[in-house]
Amino acid sequence: MAKRFLSPRSYKPSYKFREASFDLLTDFLIDFNKRNEENLSSLSNCSGSFKEKRLLVYIFLITKELRVDPLAGYHAIELLQRFMVKHLTDLFTTPTPQGAASDPPRSYEVAVFDKLKEKFPLIIFSCVQLASKMSLHSHMIDNNTAVQFLHTMGLSVSKQEVINSELMVLKGLEFRLHALNPLSYVEILLEVLGHNEPSIPVDHLPHLCHNVLQFVTLQRTAIYDSLLVTTMQCGSPSTEQREKFLLVTEDCMLLGVGVIAVAAFILLVRKWEQVVAELSHITGIAQKSISDFTRVTVMHIVQSGSSAPST
């Protein structure tokens, strides 16, 4: 029987809409929009490189097993992306160690990746652990729990190694742990939507929004490839078009409204056009962009369901 690290109750977020004031929602929305625009204006070519499906599944399974707030999982994904890009950049821009100067550059790169490969599972866990400490709604993963969990995963590490890994990630991130988080965007947009349009039963949407966001996150490459083709109206987009489209794949505000629109299409189809119009009004994102995101995502959901093995 699998070892349980916490109480048997799963983490179940509760939502109470229409209690936040207009001024508070306005401040949140302005701040989220500003941070999203700042992020989009400073993207690197490596953005999204560490959002490969297997990594994301690994992170989601850790948060599920340790019953951590789902928000921490999405936060950990962003921390991992930022840390790994910074860490690898530092490794490959620092002077080559003495004794390795005579080796071909390729040999040095292989050595770096081989060494990093050993540490990578612990680095991923450290990102989850740090994210859990930033969550206001669930427990923090302490070092004893971390060591026990990692041992069950086949990683023989000491408490000191867990601490050292966490410190390495902290220093690599320059102790800046606040990161854009798509689930936070979904939640604040649901709050604003419920405030602006009381006739829309937003209370029905959070759970499905969580499932849709996870689906989009795990099927990220396929969904955004389809969206690129739809947007460019071209079956084989060029490299330049793909590079420009990076702004779309990293746009948390678009992802937030898209997830809500998909959930509304599934649960509140009669009010879907109203939801899309209001989301467009709130964010300034064109209704067509929201509709395209909805159509592409629903198509992938249907295809995923039809390709699932029958029981």
Is the domain of 238 the same as that of 276?
Answer: yes
- As a whole number of angstroms, the distance between CA 35 and CA 39 comes to 6
Asked if the model's pLDDT at residue 259 lies above 90, the reply is yes
Domain-ending residue, one of 140, 172, 204: 172
Domain-ending residue, one of 151, 172, 193: 172
* pLDDT (tens digit per residue) in 66-79: 988 888 999 999 99
* pLDDT (tens digit per residue) in 24-72: 889 989 999 999 999 888 887 777 788 889 999 999 999 999 988 888 9
> Residue 1 — pLDDT band, cuts 50, 70, 90?
very low
**CA–CA distance from 114 to each of 118, 128, 169, 264, 266 (Å)?**
7, 23, 18, 46, 45
Domain-ending residue, one of 147, 172, 197: 172
Asked if the model's pLDDT at residue 13 lies above 70, the reply is no
Is the domain of 144 the same as that of 194?
Answer: no
Is the domain of 187 the same as that of 168?
Answer: no
What is the three-class DSSP state of 147?
A: helix
- What angle do helix axes 182-196 and 70-93 make, rounded to 10 degrees? 140
Range of the domain at 204: 182-307
CA 273, distance to chain mean position in Å, is: 27
**CA–CA distance from 204 to each of 11, 29, 256 (Å)?**
18, 22, 16
Residue 98, pLDDT score: 54
Is the domain of 243 the same as that of 301?
Answer: yes
* pLDDT (tens digit per residue) in 89-144: 887 776 655 555 555 556 777 777 777 888 899 999 999 999 998 876 557 888 99
Q: In CATH, what number is assigned to the domain containing residue 110? A: 1.10.472.10
Is 273 part of a structural domain of the chain?
yes
Q: What percent of the chain has pLDDT over 70?
A: 86
Is the domain of 189 the same as that of 166?
Answer: no
- What angle do helix axes 287-307 and 220-232 make, rounded to 10 degrees? 130
Is the domain of 57 the same as that of 167?
Answer: yes
Angle at 192 between CA 29 and CA 251, to 5 degrees: 50
Q: Which residues of 282-292 are buried (b: 16+ CB within 10 A; e: fewer)?
A: bbebeeebbbb
Is 34 part of a structural domain of the chain?
no
Is 16 part of a structural domain of the chain?
no
Residue 6, pLDDT score: 44
Using the 8-state DSSP alphabet, how is residue 103 labeled? S
Is the domain of 158 the same as that of 188?
Answer: no
Is the domain of 211 the same as that of 124?
Answer: no
Q: What is the reported pTM?
A: 0.85
* pLDDT (tens digit per residue) in 185-239: 999 999 999 999 989 999 999 999 999 999 999 999 999 999 999 988 777 778 8
* pLDDT (tens digit per residue) in 155-184: 889 999 999 999 999 999 988 888 888 999
Is the domain of 101 the same as that of 201?
Answer: no
Is 38 part of a structural domain of the chain?
no
Is the domain of 142 the same as that of 241?
Answer: no
- As a whole number of angstroms, the distance between CA 124 and CA 154 comes to 15
The count of structural domains within the chain is 2
Is the domain of 158 the same as that of 269?
Answer: no
Residue 15, pLDDT score: 60
Is the domain of 103 the same as that of 148?
Answer: yes
Residue 4, pLDDT score: 44
Is 4 part of a structural domain of the chain?
no
Is 13 part of a structural domain of the chain?
no
Is 41 part of a structural domain of the chain?
no
Residue whose entry in the numeric block shows the structure tokens 């969990």:
149
Please check whether residue 240 is in contact with residue 248, taking contact to mean a CB–CB distance below 8 angstroms: no
- As a whole number of angstroms, the distance between CA 148 and CA 163 comes to 14
Q: Quick count: other Cβ atoms within 10 Å of Cβ 210?
A: 18
